[in-house]
């Protein structure tokens, strides 16, 4: 009740200030819309485009996510900034191409680099506006103390510092060089994750911590970031879900993640907060396909994680905010993880970072106006700052590059990966994603004008990003977030 | 009210007869379950596995079908008996491999053959049980009078006799040899379908006729068969839907088909019939992929219509029957169109055809017992009675064969098809569909035992089907349903 009254007062002040007295009458008859809504951001790990029921999952269901999709909007053309873990997370937190920040690939344990503490994250911007900020799950932007979430705007952190396949006792991969993998509470290492039984408690632990955060912060605006460490390998589920799905362990894990989302949405409802909460559900990159039955599905898009094809970059995006974001809508406008920061900042009345960002705000689209096109262009990197592809609308120009392919070699089984898929030479190709979402038909000969236009865009991107990186870090990529140790 | 009382009486008689007096008490406290439920069977045309929101459709939604899936069960491993129009329909109507009946491919206008009137269809079996039987939409099992639905157990027919791309004024294909395409009412040709404007009224006309059938037959059990002629090309939608979807015309057409399902489900509810109605929604085969943006999606499965890969044979299957079929469940048990006849016959207390059928009844699975496996094996033909592949559980053995491929050549656009995809040599290959649903990884070398087992199955299938065909027709394939003209 206190919170609602505060919100009504805030809303009225805003209405009077911005729009004059004429609007007050209509504000009174409408339900109050919070000027500072709560924000819940789910970020799955290696979950592909096709891994929800609403995007075609086989042999298991995701009823809570399906309901979220039905009650909110789904964005079918949503891309991550780089199809690898740490780089993708850097983009989400800062609104920048990760190359601008010197983060590429996936950081290992004891990484000398991390997200530069000088960068302003979404958590910092919201904290400045009075939000309570919590992260529960996988950070993966540097595991040294100076890089951990508490140094990046979060009040609370409980989770794993990097991927949970990076542990010395890993059952399927030689990992002897790694230190023990431990839960981190705030800045402090806690309990070790020793085996798959321990790993089977990751999803429920993250969920519990998130629920507690909501309960403790129900009387002020909060930003809850839930980067679930699964369905990244090694797959592990709690006893309640293990062995239940016809899809095998991957289906069990997805069912538990779906349950987790259901728990959190349910808690919002229970606390009477769900109408004033913007909930976003996305993934960090496509499926790690050479894990075969332990990998997700790219839903018909080409290739997967670690590639610049759509299967690597395109992930599900669900957004729910009752009364603000239309229910049951699907939009195919091109959007990216980098756009989350400016969009959420605008929604919450927060400022943008002082440094330049690459994201664009899509609040108008989000609210239901499908005639706006927030973003036309998208360019991204893959390994060693090579620009592998450029997109403009539905056109995608892929440059000749060496890279991994998951096609033609047998994927793994039961948690053991197939052969490492790293040495394929992809030719230069132009794809029309409207006609050919699977990127199978090279039309480079038929469309010379489009090719020139996209080549020019690529040149600008190369020059721009290189230059920015110099300015931002004053040094080279490796030193961007260099630890003082 | 009269109908409900009749049903209660029927139910009580059945309970007393079958189970003794001990069950009466529980029958009284439960809601009455009809021993003769209505049956509504939707059969889409060239709609692929990925063409519903719940199976991954892009850039348009199918809210009515999504609701149907949520209120009923979805079967993710459901195959058509042959991935071409007429053959697939023959299997649905008779419960047989279409080769047993001499029907393969798609019959053209004035076809000398059709479904042999001596075959007993699902409509005939239900009519014998007192059902009102109606078909509204595309028949495509012979357009001569002796082959039309009224000669196969249907009381009423309004629809098109074959595919609506078979018309002389076809805007995108030379079709001069064809006679005018006309609606058929009963046995009588009516209005001509002259152009895409006329074709744009197909879906709404079929829907209207189906709604009228429900209203007129609400007081007795009925079998309503709705084989929608779309989303087969040429695509056409009514003005209400045209230009509305971000997916273009294909999305408009799918939206109208979804609307149609919503109308029919809504009418059942309005007439208070929906709890006593079994509704099944399937498609005749996968998408006709060389129509590019005018084709649907196989949802990540390989290839499409007219091929023996999963993209040709696997289609969505939704089943709704409140109180009997569990809500929100997905099952991955292998099932086929041929199983519809024995399953529906059993549900409705009808007998099976006198001739041998290939379908198996899956009512126990349907009612929620996922431990039963109604069907382990499946074999199907493609062109000229060549057995192209055999399945047992998740194993699929593909024999070396020439066939169409949609990969590697540019698909069409705006209704014009890409180059005809007919001359690819597929090698013999073994696929494990559990690990590799996309049929990309040939494991024939690694699994010699599985290969032998499936080869033996194929030999039996070849011998069995050939033999049956001789007995059934007393002649050769072409004469199976020979017209007397």
Measured between CA atoms, the residue of chain B closest to residue A311 is B300
Cis ω for the linkage preceding B231 (within 30 of 0): yes
Record: contact B330-A61, CB cut-off 8 A: yes
Query: What is the pLDDT averaged over residues A68-96?
Result: 95
Q: Which of A129-133, A223-227, A308-312, B401-405 has the lowest mean pLDDT?
A: B401-405
* Count of Cβ atoms closer than 10 Å to residue B212 Cβ: 15
Flag whether pLDDT at A409 surpasses 90.
Answer: no
Q: Residues with Cβ < 8 Å from A474, sequence gap 6 or more?
A: none
Strand positions, DSSP E, A71-194: 73-75, 78-79, 132-138, 156-160, 182-185, 188-192
- Provide the pLDDT for residue B411: 84
Query: What is the pLDDT averaged over residues A455-471?
Result: 78
Query: What is the pLDDT averaged over residues A194-212?
Result: 97
Flag whether pLDDT at B104 surpasses 90.
Answer: no
Q: What angle do CA A124, A127, A129 make, to 5 degrees?
A: 115
User: Of B254 and B442, which is predicted with more confidence?
Assistant: B254
Residue A85 annotated among the catalytic residues of the structure: yes
- Provide the pLDDT for residue B419: 79
Query: What is the pLDDT averaged over residues B106-112?
Result: 93
Q: How would residue B246 be classed by pLDDT, with cut points 50, 70 and 90?
A: confident
Helix (H, G, I), strand (E, B) or coil at B462: helix
Residue B96 annotated among the catalytic residues of the structure: no
Q: Which residue reads 């009650």 in tokens?
A: A71
Q: Which of A80-84, A104-108, B193-197, B338-342 has the lowest mean pLDDT?
A: A104-108
ipTM entry? 0.72
- Residues 247-266 on A with a CB inside 8 Å of B are 247-248
Q: How far apart are CA A269 and CA A276, in angstroms?
A: 10
Q: What's the gap in Å between the CA of B223 and the closest CA on chain A?
A: 30
Question: B218-236, pLDDT tens digit by residue?
Answer: 999 999 999 999 999 999 9
Chain B residues in contact with A413 by the CB 8 A cut-off are 435
- Provide the pLDDT for residue B435: 79
- Provide the pLDDT for residue B470: 58
Tokens of A358: 């690459």
Chain A residues in contact with B410 by the CB 8 A cut-off are 435-436, 441, 443
Residue A412 exposed, middle or buried by CB count within 10 Å (0-12, 13-18, 19+):
buried
Question: A348-395, pLDDT tens digit by residue?
Answer: 999 999 988 999 999 999 999 988 999 988 887 777 678 899 999 999
Closest CA to A250 of A408, A68, A44: A44
| Cβ contact B231:B258 at 8 Å | no
| Cβ contact B83:B307 at 8 Å | yes
Torsion of CA B123, B128, B134, B135, to 10 degrees: 10
Q: Which of B96, B140, B294, B348 is catalytic?
A: B140
- B60 in contact with chain A, both atoms CB, cutoff 8 A: yes
Flag whether pLDDT at A55 surpasses 80.
Answer: yes
Chain A residues in contact with B77 by the CB 8 A cut-off are 59
Q: What angle do CA A255, A258, A262 make, to 5 degrees?
A: 135
Flag whether pLDDT at A302 surpasses 50.
Answer: yes
Q: Which of A11-20, A420-429, B182-191 has the lowest mean pLDDT?
A: A11-20
Question: A94-120, pLDDT tens digit by residue?
Answer: 999 998 888 888 999 999 999 999 999
Record: contact B408-A440, CB cut-off 8 A: yes
- B6 in contact with chain A, both atoms CB, cutoff 8 A: no
Q: Which residue reads 């009228």 in tokens?
A: B212
| Cβ contact A437:A465 at 8 Å | no
Residue B142 region, left (φ>0) first, then alpha (ψ -120 to 50), else beta? left
- Provide the pLDDT for residue B20: 35
Measured between CA atoms, the residue of chain B closest to residue A334 is B59
Average pLDDT across chain B, whole number: 87
* Count of Cβ atoms closer than 10 Å to residue A304 Cβ: 31
- Provide the pLDDT for residue A15: 36
Domains along chain A? Answer: 38-375 (3.40.720.10), 379-479 (3.30.1120.10)
Percent of chain B with pLDDT over 90: 69
- Provide the pLDDT for residue A209: 98
Record: contact A441-B50, CB cut-off 8 A: no
Query: What is the pLDDT averaged over residues B286-295?
Result: 94
- B55 in contact with chain A, both atoms CB, cutoff 8 A: yes
Q: What angle do CA A287, A138, A70 make, to 5 degrees?
A: 60
Q: How far apart are CA B338 and CA B341, in angstroms?
A: 6
Q: How would residue B473 be classed by pLDDT, with cut points 50, 70 and 90?
A: low
Record: contact A66-B54, CB cut-off 8 A: yes
- Provide the pLDDT for residue A29: 29
Helix (H, G, I), strand (E, B) or coil at B426: strand
- Provide the pLDDT for residue A19: 37
* Count of Cβ atoms closer than 10 Å to residue B460 Cβ: 13
Q: How would residue B467 be classed by pLDDT, with cut points 50, 70 and 90?
A: low
Q: Which helix (H) or strand (E) holds A166?
A: none
- Provide the pLDDT for residue A352: 97
Q: How far apart are CA B240 and CA B235, in angstroms?
A: 15
Smallest Cβ distance to A56: which of B55, B292, B435? B55
Q: Which of B85, B96, B317, B348 is catalytic?
A: B85
Q: How far apart are CA B37 and CA B330, in angstroms?
A: 23
Q: How far apart are CA B6 and CA B130, in angstroms?
A: 13
Q: Which helix (H) or strand (E) holds A25?
A: helix A24-29
| Cβ contact A280:A317 at 8 Å | yes
Chain A residues in contact with B248 by the CB 8 A cut-off are 434
Q: How far apart are CA A271 and CA A279, in angstroms?
A: 15
Flag whether pLDDT at A85 surpasses 50.
Answer: yes
Question: B305-342, pLDDT tens digit by residue?
Answer: 999 999 999 999 999 999 999 998 888 899 999 999 99
Q: Which residue reads 């480079």 in tokens?
A: A444
Percent of chain A with pLDDT over 70: 88
Question: A243-257, pLDDT tens digit by residue?
Answer: 999 899 999 999 999
Helix (H, G, I), strand (E, B) or coil at B441: coil
| Cβ contact B300:B43 at 8 Å | no
Flag whether pLDDT at A328 surpasses 90.
Answer: no
- Provide the pLDDT for residue B28: 33
Helix (H, G, I), strand (E, B) or coil at B277: strand
Q: What's the gap in Å between the CA of B434 and the closest CA on chain A?
A: 7
CA distances from B472 to A476, B149, B467 (A): 79, 21, 9
Flag whether pLDDT at A406 surpasses 90.
Answer: no
Record: contact A59-B411, CB cut-off 8 A: no
Flag whether pLDDT at A322 surpasses 80.
Answer: yes
Dump the DSSP string for A194-238: -SHHHHTTHHHHHHHHHHHHHHHTTTS-EEEEE---TTSSSP---
Measured between CA atoms, the residue of chain A closest to residue B293 is A435
Q: How would residue A469 be classed by pLDDT, with cut points 50, 70 and 90?
A: low
User: Of A411 and A205, which is predicted with more confidence?
Assistant: A205
Query: What is the pLDDT averaged over residues A128-141?
Result: 97
Record: contact A443-B410, CB cut-off 8 A: yes
Measured between CA atoms, the residue of chain A closest to residue B434 is A293
Dump the DSSP string for B132-163: EEEEEEE--S--SGGGSGGGGT-SEEEEESS-
- Any bridge partners for residue B134, and if so which? B156, B224
Strand positions, DSSP E, B122-230: 132-138, 156-160, 182-185, 188-192, 222-226
| Cβ contact A299:A332 at 8 Å | no
Question: B37-64, pLDDT tens digit by residue?
Answer: 999 999 999 999 999 988 888 888 899 9
User: Of A379 and B256, which is predicted with more confidence?
Assistant: B256
- Provide the pLDDT for residue B430: 96
Biggest CA–CA distance in chain B, Å, is 69
- Distance between terminal CA atoms of chain B? 49
- Provide the pLDDT for residue B123: 98
Query: What is the pLDDT averaged over residues A425-436?
Result: 91
Smallest Cβ distance to A411: which of B49, B77, B436? B436
- Provide the pLDDT for residue B441: 85
Q: Which residue reads 């080769």 in tokens?
A: B99
Chain B residues in contact with A293 by the CB 8 A cut-off are 434-435
Q: Residues with Cβ < 8 Å from A151, sequence gap 6 or more?
A: A117, A145
């Amino acid at each position: 009740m206190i919170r609602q009254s505060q919100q009504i007062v805030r809303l009225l002040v805003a209405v009077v200030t911005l729009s004059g007295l004429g609007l007050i009458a209509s504000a009174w008859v409408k339900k109050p819309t919070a000027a500072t809504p709560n924000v819940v951001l789910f970020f799955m790990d290696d979950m592909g485009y096709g891994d929800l029921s609403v995007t075609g999952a086989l042999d298991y269901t995701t009823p809570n996510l399906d309901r979220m999709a039905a009650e909110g909007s789904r964005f079918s053309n949503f891309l991550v900034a780089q199809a690898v873990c740490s780089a993708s997370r850097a983009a989400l937190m800062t609104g920048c191409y990760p190359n601008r920040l010197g983060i590429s690939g996936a950081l290992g344990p004891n990484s000398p680099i991390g997200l530069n503490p000088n960068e302003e994250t979404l958590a910092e911007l919201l904290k400045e506006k009075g939000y309570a900020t919590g992260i529960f799950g996988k950070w993966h932007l540097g595991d040294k103390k100076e890089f951990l979430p508490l140094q990046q705007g979060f009040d609370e952190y409980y989770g794993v510092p990097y991927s949970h396949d990076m542990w010395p006792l890993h059952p399927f991969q030689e990992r002897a060089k790694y230190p023990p993998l431990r839960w981190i509470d705030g800045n402090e290492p806690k309990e070790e994750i020793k085996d798959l039984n321990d790993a089977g408690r990751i999803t429920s632990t993250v969920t519990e911590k998130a629920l507690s955060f909501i309960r403790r912060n129900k009387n002020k605006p909060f930003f809850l970031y839930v980067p679930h460490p699964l369905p990244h390998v090694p797959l592990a589920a709690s006893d309640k879900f293990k062995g239940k799905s016809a899809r095998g362990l991957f289906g069990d894990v997805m069912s538990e993640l779906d349950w987790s989302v259901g728990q959190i949405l349910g808690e919002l409802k229970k606390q009477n907060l769900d109408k004033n909460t913007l909930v976003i559900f996305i993934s960090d990159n496509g499926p790690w396909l050479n894990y075969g039955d332990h990998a997700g599905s790219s839903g018909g898009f080409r290739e997967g994680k670690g590639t610049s094809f759509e299967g690597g970059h395109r992930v599900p995006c669900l957004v729910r905010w009752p009364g603000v974001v239309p229910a049951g809508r699907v939009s195919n406008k091109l959007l990216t993880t980098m756009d989350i920061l400016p969009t959420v900042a605008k929604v919450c009345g927060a400022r943008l970072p002082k440094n330049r960002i690459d994201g664009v705000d899509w609040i108008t689209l989000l609210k239901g106006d499908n005639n706006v096109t927030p973003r036309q262009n998208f360019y991204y990197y893959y390994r060693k700052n090579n620009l592998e592809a450029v997109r403009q609308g539905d056109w995608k120009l892929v440059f000749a590059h060496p890279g991994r392919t998951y096609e033609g070699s047998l994927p793994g089984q039961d948690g053991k990966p197939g052969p490492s898929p790293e040495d394929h030479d992809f030719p230069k190709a132009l794809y029309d994603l409207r006609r050919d979402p699977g990127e199978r038909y090279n039309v480079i000969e038929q469309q010379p004008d489009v090719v020139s236009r996209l080549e020019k865009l690529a040149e600008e991107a190369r020059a721009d990003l290189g230059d920015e990186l110099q300015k931002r870090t004053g040094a080279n990529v490796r030193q961007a977030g260099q630890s003082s140790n």
